[in-house]
């Protein structure tokens, strides 16, 4: 029986229903976006990432709230697609708590890197979005794929698709970072910060969990 048959797809995507932290985060993001539509600029102005408000008004909560706000419908769709597919894979692989740590620390940490960068170079702008967390998930996929590849080789396994997944993950990282620099109004500091933090948190989880980590079967 071919690997990618109808039953495989049912089993694979059915596992996403067990990733309840990811599903909860998607729902929270959608709820926040609906509130943004209902309340206009009020919610966005109060929760967006704003370096001046963070430093001068001690509104550090913006590092968190900004990760749940989005600029428009295309913005939230693109981020939620990444959160759903990458987040589901990672939550299945490292568990609910591990996934939550990767995503939330990447999003908040990416915003902290952005604020530090903007403070250093005296940049004044608003930014919103879950992109830092999503970039952290991309970094996590890359780290977990490399770990699985190393594990397979150490155990003498010749089968598996992790080799291709490592190359695809590296390509996605390079492509998305390059795309960010080619477009205006993109918070690349938050993206790169989230990516690096996601990789670091995933590396720590690999050291702690080791063989408890489940392979990302693609």
Please confirm, yes or no, whether 75 is among the known catalytic residues: no
- Overall number of domains in the chain: 1
pLDDT of residue 1: 42
pLDDT of residue 124: 85
Q: Of residues 93, 131, 145, 202, which has the active-site annotation? A: 131
Residue 61 counted as domain residue: yes
Residue 125 counted as domain residue: yes
Residue 13 counted as domain residue: yes
- Classify strands 49-50 and 126-127 as parallel, antiparallel or unpaired: antiparallel
Residue 218 counted as domain residue: no
Please confirm, yes or no, whether 191 is among the known catalytic residues: yes
- Which CATH number does the domain housing residue 158 bear? 1.20.1540.10
Residue 1 counted as domain residue: no
Residue 181 counted as domain residue: yes
Give the angle subtended at the CA of 11 by the CAs of 6 and 15, to the nearest 5°. Answer: 145
Residue 2 counted as domain residue: no
CA distances from 178 to 4, 52, 101, 115, 143 (A): 32, 28, 26, 21, 20
Q: Of residues 70, 127, 191, 202, which has the active-site annotation? A: 191
Chain center to CA of 90: 10
Mean pLDDT, the chain cut into blocks of 10 residues (218 residues total): 59 80 97 95 94 95 97 93 91 96 98 96 91 95 90 72 63 69 80 96 96 78
Q: Which residue range(s) make up the domain with 77?
A: 7-212
pLDDT of residue 14: 75
pLDDT of residue 40: 84
Residue 40 counted as domain residue: yes
Chain center to CA of 165: 17
Distance in angstroms (rounded) separating the CA atoms of residues 177 and 190: 11
């Amino acid at each position: 029986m071919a690997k990618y048959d109808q039953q495989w797809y049912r089993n694979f995507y059915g596992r996403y229903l067990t990733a309840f932290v990811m599903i909860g985060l998607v729902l929270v993001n959608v709820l926040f976006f609906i509130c943004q539509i209902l309340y206009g600029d009020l919610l966005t102005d109060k929760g967006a990432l704003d370096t001046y408000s963070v430093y001068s008004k001690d509104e550090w909560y913006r590092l968190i709230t900004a990760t749940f706000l989005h600029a428009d419908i295309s913005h939230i769709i693109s981020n939620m697609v990444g959160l759903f597919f990458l987040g589901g894979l990672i939550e299945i692989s490292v568990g609910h708590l591990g996934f939550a740590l990767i995503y939330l620390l990447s999003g908040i940490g990416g915003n902290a890197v952005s604020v530090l960068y903007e403070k250093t170079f005296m940049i004044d702008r608003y930014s919103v979005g879950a992109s830092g967390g999503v970039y952290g998930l991309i970094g996590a996929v890359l780290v977990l794929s490399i770990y699985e590849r190393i594990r397979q080789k150490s155990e003498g396994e010749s089968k598996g698709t992790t080799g291709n997944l490592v190359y695809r993950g590296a390509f996605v990282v390079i492509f998305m970072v390059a795309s960010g620099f080619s477009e205006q109004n993109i918070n690349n500091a938050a993206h790169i910060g989230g990516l690096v933090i996601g990789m670091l948190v995933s590396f720590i989880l690999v050291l702690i969990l080791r063989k408890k980590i489940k392979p990302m079967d693609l």
